[in-house]
Structure 1
Amino acid sequence: MVDPSRASASGPAHDPPEPAPPVPLRRNRNYLILLTGQTISEFGSAVSTVALPLLVLVLTGSAIQAGFVAFANMAARFLFGIVAGALVDRWNRHRIMLVCEGGRAAAMGTLATALLLGNPPLTLIIVAVVVEGAFAALFAPSEEAAMPSVVPPEQLPNAMAAMAGRAYLGVTVGPAAGGFLFQLKHTVPFLVDAISYAFSFFLLFFLRLPRRVVAAARPKEILGEIGAGLRWVLGEPRIRVSFLSAVALNLVFNALLFTVILVASERKVPASEIGIMTAMLGVGGLAGAFLAPQFQSRMRPHTTVIALAWICTLLTPLLVFVPAGIGFGLVMAAMAFPTPAATTSIQAAQLLLTPDGLRGRLSGATQLSGGVSGALGPLTAGFLVNLTSDGMAFLICAGALLLISLSVTFSPSLRSLPDLAKDAAGGEVPRERDPAAV
């Protein structure tokens, strides 16, 4: 029998020690590897993204063909995104990321080499962007599914906001550099993109992820695994409605962004100014990513989405009146400002709702929805610019955004989406469902 007086003097022996506080993100080695490598990679992507439609316009003089090349890249992301999530849940996520960055470096390096040798055929450009899009579709769910094992749940919203910020940092500097480098020599933007992928590939060798136990599966079972992931996404109303909202918003925003680039080009805005114009969008998004943690601490996820939709709706008609170039850039920057808080708060809630064995398929479905909107957006813009006036193209986009804003405002499922990151910080993380039961 234990003497109570001795127990009280030495402290309760049965009390477990308090858990150590989590390592801050700024000292989290694996997180910093992902953040740094992909920041450089996003910069390279932004450089080539603004240069690609300009290249096709120079070679063909056709806005529709420029839109089709962007459509091919996004269509590849969509098609490979169908199976990407299941593969990510089945394979080693670290190795997937290495292969993807190496493949993207090879694709952009091939395009740069072809440009050095002369004017490449449109077919080669399409093949290069399809390969890049396919590996991008596989990389994104690998990285996103790995994030909950790299950072603790209470840090996940801030980590996701910083990861969104890296994309906007690339968009801020990349397009201006892309327009300048394209004007200098058409080859250089694509060479820079290839080098950025190679740098990320090198950094990923030093990444360490926890070992995952994955049940063996035969190749023919992949369709069943995809179906299980889709049943999870479609069976959870809060995830389903957030996906549909994201598809609609991304579709219109991609169409609007590509319309802005095409209209600016047709109005003879110099390529360097188009790069600065697109970079201004990155400035707005980067500022929004920096302030996203403050917004997330004061607003629930559905509120951030509603705010994003209405801000874009009210700002789009201004594009009819402002001058092409810098005026376009200011409007797009204002639209980009609320985007990081909305997207990252929704992504964090979705990841914490989902078991680890399904997170790859969840992220794959997210990329799939982005692929749909990303593929159709530029193609839609190409037809809008060719078949209507510039002002009418902008007003059509504004009308679509109005319908989306009304939908998300009155959606009960979106309003019921909980702030799971705050619940996780308070020790109330929801229990994961068994993936086999999905």
Structure 2
Amino acid sequence: MTEDAPGIDGISSRRSLRPLGGVLTAMAVSLTGTRISLVALPWFVLVTTGSATQTGLVAFCEMTPYVVVKAFTGPLVDRIGPRTVSWTTDLASAGAAAAVPVFHALDLLSLPLLLVLVALIGAARGPGDLAKEVMVPEAAERGRVPLERATGLSGVIERLASTVGPAAGGSLVALLGPLAGLVINAGCFALGSLIIGLALPRGMGHATVEASSQADETGPGYWRRFGEGFTFLRGESLLLTVIVMVGITNLLDAAISTVLIPVWARESGNGPTAIGLMGSVMGAAAVAGSLIAALAAHRLRRRAVVLTGFLLAGAPRFLILAFDAPLGAVLAVFAVSGFGAGFINPVLGAVLFERVPRRMRGRVNALGDSLAWAGIPLGGLLAGAAVAVVGLAPVLLACGGAYFLTTNLAGLRPEWREMDRPGGRGVPPPYSKEGASQGSANVVP
């Protein structure tokens, strides 16, 4: 009996699902630890320094290396293999995260040292996240799981981590202090490394680029592979349009989450409790949307699903806040927006996977993700400056309009019709020998 043959006791079925289960479990563990850290680390800086400026500086020093290093490690993932990159970078992140409470306990933790440590965490986390993304479709095809379902489950994992992680981080910080959250974060990275290193099948996640000569191991070989990824992406009009669109919407999402919602909560008198409620409601609804997408998105027209998802997830959030609606109405709109958002990543992830050859998966994924995330550090800065000049409501209206126009104008472009085609150029049929070893792509955070 082969590994894929159906067995009476279902053993072979469980074996076929083991790779996908292992990758998703590792993603869940590491993402949850990261979300816990998003609460614990800023609070630790605030209570130890009392400076909001230094808190923002710490966040900037983590996210900037994340985006930059992720952009340039795509060829490395292709050369070394996503499995090796994933477990080694998670182990490096665990060490850097654990060093923060250790140095603090020894009274050796200065602000420059903290900035170095969080920069190391970000620099290691970028390639680690990329490597796990790359392994999702390979794991799905090994288990003969539809691609939209696999990317949908990946989206569910991310949404759950974004819902559960902050709540867990807040509880840990309240009960045991911020250092406990950082210790848990380090433990999550270590556990994720262990899962990838030991729990996945031996033949999974290996390098996809054959070494043709000794020269390929040097700098010029790396830059040539990096250039190949850039050239491929530039020639893919559908992928490039999606990435640019997502980059703009990510900037607007960063603006509303980091500045506009807190300002609204203060000016409306709803306070920080409302911020937590809005995040929880939207996160829970996004989980529901992702679950439905995992089950049904592969049967639906992709373009209609993506455009409807963006229509629900984008402009309504800005508009409901601009019109000073009661909290109940705000929560209802955010729930609908979260539900729509849950459908987006599974479909876009499937489209990107189909159109990129496996041997270029790491470098194209890395470039796409980094371009899509490039505006996130600027979102809060631009929104804060705009609110100071013209006030909250005009900025909310302008952002909502920009969100609506960006997503709909992109959807009207002729290349978007290719989204509904059953595959991209040079893509083998599902579950063929070549297709069974391909990687993943996802540009929406």
TM-superposed deviation, 1:103 = 1.3
The 3 A distance-change label for structure 1 pair 277 and 391 is same
CA distance in 2 between counterparts of 1:58 and 1:262 reads 20
Q: For this pair of structures, how many residues does the alignment match?
A: 414
CA separation in 2, counterparts of 1:191 and 1:270?
Answer: 30
Unmatched runs of 5 consecutive residues or more in structure 1: 1-16, 433-438
Compare 76-85 and 110-119 and name the one that shifted more.
110-119
- Change over 3 Å in CA distance of 1:203–1:353 after alignment to 2: same
Farther-moved stretch of structure 1 (266-275 vs 235-244) = 266-275
Counterpart contact for 1:301–1:342, Cα < 8 Å: no
Give the distance between the partners of 2:99 and 2:320, measured in 1 at CA. Answer: 40
Shifted more, 368-377 versus 256-265: the winner is 256-265
Identity of aligned residues (%): 25
Q: Pairwise mapping of residues 1-400 of structure 1 onto structure 2 (< 5 A)?
A: 28-58=17-47, 65-116=54-105, 121-152=110-141, 155-184=146-175, 185-206=177-198, 207-208=200-201, 209-210=203-204, 211-212=206-207, 214-216=209-211, 217-220=216-219, 221-259=221-259, 262-263=262-263, 274-275=275-276, 277-311=278-312, 312-320=314-322, 321-322=324-325, 331-384=333-386, 389-400=391-402
Q: Secondary structure at the match of 1:205?
A: helix
Q: Answer whether contact 2:229 2:360 (CA < 8 A) is retained.
A: yes
Q: Which whole-Å CA distance do the structure 1 matches of 2:62 and 2:325 have between them?
A: 30
1:127-153 C-alpha deviation (Å, 9 max, x unpaired):
333222211221122222223322227
Give the TM-score normalised by structure 1. Answer: 0.82
Deviations, residues 164-222 of structure 1 (Å, cap 9, x unaligned): 11111111111122223333322222222111111112212222244546322222121
Structure 1 residue 415: deviation in Å? 2.8
The normalised TM-score by structure 2 is 0.80
Q: Which moved more, 1:301-310 or 1:168-177?
A: 301-310
Q: Secondary structure at the match of 2:419?
A: coil
Q: Which runs of 5+ in 2 are unaligned?
A: 438-445
Q: CA deviation at 1:240?
A: 1.3
Aligned equivalents of 2:271, 2:103: Cα separation in 1: 25
Alpha-carbon separation, structure 1, partners of 2:259 and 2:196: 36
Query: 1:403 and 1:335 mapped to 2: Cα distance?
Result: 17
C-alpha separation in 1, matches of 2:231 and 2:61:
28
1:162 Cα deviation after fit: 0.5
Aligned-pair CA distance for 1:35? 1.1
Aligned amino acid, residue 140 of structure 1? D
- Go from structure 1 to structure 2 and tell me whether the alpha carbon gap of 1:121 and 1:228 turns closer, same or farther (over 3 Å shift): same
How far residue 54 of structure 1 moved from its aligned partner, in angstroms, is 4.2
Structure having the higher Rg: 1
Q: Is the 8 A contact 2:78 2:207 kept in 1?
A: no
Distance 1:201 1:133 in 2: 16
C-alpha contact 1:263 1:390 (8 A) present in aligned 2: yes
Deviates more, 1:21-30 or 1:345-354: 21-30
- Counterpart-to-counterpart distance in 2, 1:150 and 1:246: 26
